[in-house]
């Protein structure tokens, strides 16, 4: 075995109680100092372009492939299987699969596994565009429950258990129910109560929890959706946990969704050449949860306490049952000018928020929150709030205008989405699209929530709302040069 590189971590350096099967296998392979006559072509970093090699350093040696002892993500039975079992045990699910194609692949796999072709899936609130892709691939037909919009908070809130019951009463033939929680702005649904309602109707509950893998780590954080009883839960490992970008995992439990179907759909959707750097990252995070997760979450909550003491309470203005993730702050703005001013002030202070639009500005403190960072943000926020004489939202942009963006989701489908997507299409100016059938989703990004799906008709009000967003300079996927795709 080759000598240990000075400063390099080895399995022997592991924190007690932290098992990392994938990372251990990779390190042992590298330490064996074999002659690598296999892909990838950079030969454990030797041929990487110099600027990249400088920054990747030792990590490049772990960028390997499916070699003896390193298992196979497509059919795991070794170190990958062992690591996935550890992640499942930590969250309390019956099965867990790793995704190197992000939560996008996980959401698609969940829908494809739970909803048969032609079956109905009931969306309780606006969803990420990955759900649209899952509908397209599965051949499912979506049904949307009208979202609840808060004018004061300038955002759509998650549904309650009563909303779920009403939605199921209106759509008793649904094959599965889909929920996004937390939302991008950080609103957390009462998943446990919703799961009880959905299960009482004999349906599975699928939860896109991409922004909530950290939930339940410490008192003060809402519980995660696995603990709340959801059947399939998709979580990003990179959004709030300390994983590399593009990492995620998918949990399954209970009898309502066959785990082998979820696994098969993930095989269809994932690359056959998965990055072992990403797999090692996921593996390291599942061990980190055991050793450092709770203490890190507790420190982060302590760090943000000063902000919420001034801006709080954390759950102010929310309906009963809805909670806020205290590790992110959505600041609604009373006007476009106020929002632009907040972003200018943050930029001048060297603070980069997650996202901003005409409704508000989102800042994610996350598990890495430090008191100095929070104080820096608080200073800017305090000055901005004093300048604008408010801390909530006003009426510069009428609520009805924003309501229209999501109200159209409840419109009936002229054609099933997959049929509409594959029909001949043409482009027309969005203001001329009224009455036409959509051929490609229109998606403000971020947050990546479609406002119209293929198969639905553009309403005049929706066309005006989309055009106004484009005029304001917001990024709109599915729109090019002010034109939308419609059926020819």
Q: What is the CATH number of the domain that holds 321?
A: 3.90.1150
Instruction: Clarify whether residues 442 and 340 are in a common domain.
Output: no
Instruction: Clarify whether residues 134 and 243 are in a common domain.
Output: yes
Instruction: Clarify whether residues 306 and 438 are in a common domain.
Output: no
Query: Has residue 280 been placed in a domain?
Result: yes
Query: Has residue 48 been placed in a domain?
Result: yes
* Tens of each residue's pLDDT in the chain, 488 residues: 344 444 455 666 666 668 999 999 999 999 998 899 999 999 999 999 999 999 999 999 999 999 999 999 999 999 999 999 999 999 999 999 999 999 999 999 999 999 999 999 999 998 998 999 999 999 999 999 988 888 888 888 999 999 999 999 999 999 999 999 999 999 999 999 999 999 999 999 999 999 999 999 999 999 999 999 999 999 999 999 999 999 999 999 999 999 999 999 999 999 999 999 999 999 999 999 999 999 999 999 999 999 999 998 888 889 999 999 999 999 999 888 899 999 999 999 999 999 998 789 999 999 999 999 999 999 999 999 999 876 544 555 555 556 667 777 778 899 999 999 999 999 999 999 999 999 999 988 756 678 899 999 999 989 998 998 888 777 899 998 999 999 99
CA dist 330 and 397 (Å) reads: 17
Number of compact structural domains in the chain: 4
Instruction: Clarify whether residues 131 and 248 are in a common domain.
Output: yes
385-393, long-range: CB within 8 Å, 24+ apart, which pairs?
Answer: 387/341, 388/334, 388/338, 388/341, 390/334, 391/311, 392/152, 392/153, 392/317, 392/332, 392/334, 393/151, 393/152, 393/153, 393/154, 393/332, 393/333, 393/334, 393/359, 393/360
Query: Has residue 72 been placed in a domain?
Result: no
Instruction: Clarify whether residues 439 and 331 are in a common domain.
Output: no
Instruction: Clarify whether residues 107 and 214 are in a common domain.
Output: yes
Q: Which two three-digit tokens encode residue 437?
A: 């059938």
Q: How many CB atoms neighbour CB 152 within 10 A?
A: 12
Q: How many CB atoms neighbour CB 43 within 10 A?
A: 15
Instruction: Clarify whether residues 380 and 461 are in a common domain.
Output: no
Instruction: Clarify whether residues 50 and 185 are in a common domain.
Output: no
Q: Are 252 and 259 in contact (CB under 8 A)?
A: yes
Match 């399995």 to its residue by tokens. 11
CA dist 148 and 341 (Å) reads: 28
Instruction: Clarify whether residues 134 and 254 are in a common domain.
Output: yes
For residue 187, give its domain range: 79-291
| Domain end point (choices 273, 291, 309) | 291
Instruction: Clarify whether residues 277 and 309 are in a common domain.
Output: no
Is the pTM higher than 0.95? no
Chain centroid to CA 408 = 23
């Amino acid at each position: 075995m080759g000598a240990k590189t000075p400063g390099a971590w080895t399995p022997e350096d592991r924190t007690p109680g932290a098992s990392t099967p994938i990372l251990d296998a990779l390190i042992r392979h590298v330490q064996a100092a074999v002659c690598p006559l296999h892909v990838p072509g950079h030969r454990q970093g030797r041929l990487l372009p110099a600027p990249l090699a400088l920054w990747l350093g030792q990590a490049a040696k772990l960028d390997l492939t499916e070699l003896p002892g390193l298992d196979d993500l497509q059919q795991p039975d070794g170190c990958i299987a062992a690591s996935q079992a550890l992640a499942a045990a930590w969250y309390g699910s019956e099965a867990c699969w790793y995704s190197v194609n992000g939560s996008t692949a996980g959401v698609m796999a969940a829908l494809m596994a739970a909803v048969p072709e032609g079956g109905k899936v009931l969306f309780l609130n606006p969803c990420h565009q990955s759900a649209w892709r899952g509908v397209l691939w599965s051949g499912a037909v979506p049904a949307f429950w009208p979202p609840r919009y808060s004018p004061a908070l300038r955002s759509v809130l998650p549904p309650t258990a009563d909303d779920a019951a009403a939605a199921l009463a209106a759509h008793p033939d649904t094959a599965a129910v889909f929920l996004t929680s937390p939302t991008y702005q950080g609103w957390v649904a009462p998943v446990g109560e919703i799961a009880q309602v959905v299960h009482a109707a004999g349906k599975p509950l699928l939860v896109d929890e991409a922004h909530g893998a950290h939930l339940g780590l410490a008192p003060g954080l809402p519980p995660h959706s696995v603990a709340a009883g959801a059947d399939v839960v998709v979580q990003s490992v990179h959004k709030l946990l300390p994983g590399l970008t593009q990492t995620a995992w998918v949990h399954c439990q209970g009898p309502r969704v066959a785990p082998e179907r979820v696994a098969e759909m993930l095989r269809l959707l994932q690359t056959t050449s998965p990055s072992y750097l990403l797999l090692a990252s996921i593996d390291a995070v599942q061990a980190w949860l055991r050793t450092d997760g709770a203490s890190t979450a507790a420190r982060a909550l302590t760090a943000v306490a000063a902000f919420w003491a001034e801006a709080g309470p954390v759950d102010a203005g929310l309906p009963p049952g809805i909670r806020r993730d205290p590790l992110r702050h959505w600041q609604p703005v009373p006007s476009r000018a106020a929002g632009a001013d907040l972003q200018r002030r943050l930029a001048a202070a060297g603070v980069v928020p997650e996202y901003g639009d005409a409704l508000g500005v989102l800042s994610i403190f996350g598990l890495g929150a430090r008191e100095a960072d929070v104080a820096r943000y608080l200073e800017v926020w305090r000055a901005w709030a004093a300048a604008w004489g408010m801390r909530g939202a006003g009426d510069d942009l009428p609520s009805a205008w924003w309501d229209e963006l999501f109200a159209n989701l409840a419109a009936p489908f002229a054609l099933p989405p997959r049929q509409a997507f594959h029909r001949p299409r043409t482009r027309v100016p969005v203001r001329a699209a009224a009455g036409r059938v959509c051929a490609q989703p229109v998606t403000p990004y971020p947050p990546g929530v479609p406002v119209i799906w293929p198969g639905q008709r553009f309403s005049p009000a929706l066309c005006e709302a989309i055009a106004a967003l484009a005029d304001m300079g917001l990024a709109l996927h599915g729109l090019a040069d002010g034109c939308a795709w419609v059926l020819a």
